[in-house]
Amino acid sequence: MDTRALVLFLLTTWVAGAQTPATGYVGSEACKTCHAVMWFNFYKNPHYKSIAAGNLPPERTGCEGCHGPAKAHVEARGGKTTIPRAFSLMPAAKILDTCLACHAKDFSRANIRRSSHTEADVVCSNCHSIHKSQTPKFLLARKQADLCYACHANIRAQFEMPSKHRVNEGFMQCSDCHNPHGAFAPTWRDGQRPRMVEQAAGTNEEACVRCHSDKRGPFVFEHVPVRVEGCEMCHNPHGSTNTRLLRRPQVFALCLECHNGAGNFGREGQGVIAQLSTHNMFDPKYRNCTTCHVRIHGSNSEANFLR
């Protein structure tokens, strides 16, 4: 076969292949008569793009892109068992697979199969509603905070505490710090307890420094726990009854949990260095450690974080 014949041969087989109709598909128009409300609202759905494009294979177009070939369903004039993918009858794992057939490539979902949500059978359709979304973006089943609180009711109270991030007021969202699709293990705190806490994109940093960029570092003099254990070591991320979201009501109580010379770590292997004997704990002035150690998150000019 000369080259021209080969090209022609390949071309014709390719065209023939492309034209082989996928079996059992009838197209989305066919659903209009019986599922009118759904059909007439569908043009607003981001998934309508597949119909508008007009050039996708039937298994990726419109209604049947999710529900599967519907010929038998239409011929039977309806029924739940005649349609290949009736979500009300599908186990969680199958729903996940259906959506990931198109959505697996997105970076934000790269670790979804190992997330605590997937492990607990919480899948796409628990949070997203394709046909009855309550939000202008992302097809969420409810407004984000309400969606999360429906299952994490205990968290709401944490955002009502005197010191808090203003999630309930609508200034922030859970997804500013969490990736509900599952994040990767964090680089801080020895990778322990990820809690689906998002890392600032591409940097392996805590989500916190996206907004609190002055705490990002690197500093000439690092305060070890800020880098190693992470912000949550001293702060409650959601809310706290103490000022500055602190885990302890008194700053010194927080500091002395580590700076007491106990244990065997710290740079001399003799526990984290205790404060100096010049620090008179009976003198109220000394109890508020951060009035002197003002650069408690790290300093570029002074090893004791005094400036």
Which residues from 59-98 bind ligand HEC, rule CB under 6 A? 60, 62-67, 70, 73-74, 77-80, 83, 86-88, 96, 98
Cα–Cα dist 283/6, whole Å: 92
Options 24, 72, 111, 129; binder of ligand HEC; rule CB under 6 A: 129
| Gyration radius of the chain over CA positions | 28
Q: Does 39 bind ligand HEC (CB under 6 A)?
A: yes
> Which residues face 240 on adjacent strands?
163
Binding to ligand HEC, residues 14-33 (CB under 6 A): 26, 28, 30-31, 33
Options 134, 291, 300, 301; binder of ligand HEC; rule CB under 6 A: 291
For ligand HEC, give the closer residue by CB, 185 or 296: 296
Q: Does 111 bind ligand HEC (CB under 6 A)?
A: no
Strands (E), 47-201: 163-164, 199-200
Tell me how far, at minimum, the Cβ of 167 lies from ligand HEC, in Å: 5
Tell me how far, at minimum, the Cβ of 88 lies from ligand HEC, in Å: 3
CA 223 to each of CA 50, 230, 289: distance values in angstroms, whole numbers, following the listed order: 52, 11, 14
Query: Quick one: DSSP state of residue 97?
Result: H
For ligand HEC, give the closer residue by CB, 108 or 111: 108
Stretch of residues binding ligand HEC (CB under 6 A), selected from 4-12, 16-24, 217-225: 217-225
Helix (H/G/I), strand (E/B), else coil: 85:
coil
Q: Does 117 bind ligand HEC (CB under 6 A)?
A: yes
Q: Does 252 bind ligand HEC (CB under 6 A)?
A: yes
Stretch of residues binding ligand HEC (CB under 6 A), selected from 1-9, 15-23, 190-198: 190-198
Options 137, 153, 269, 277; binder of ligand HEC; rule CB under 6 A: 137
Tell me how far, at minimum, the Cβ of 71 lies from ligand HEC, in Å: 8
Closest CA to 215 of 234, 196, 198: 234
Length of the chain: 307
Per DSSP, the residues of 208-271 read HHHH-GGG----SB--HHHHHT-GGGTB-SSEESSGGGBSSSSHHHHHHTTTTS-SS-STTSSS
Q: Does 172 bind ligand HEC (CB under 6 A)?
A: yes
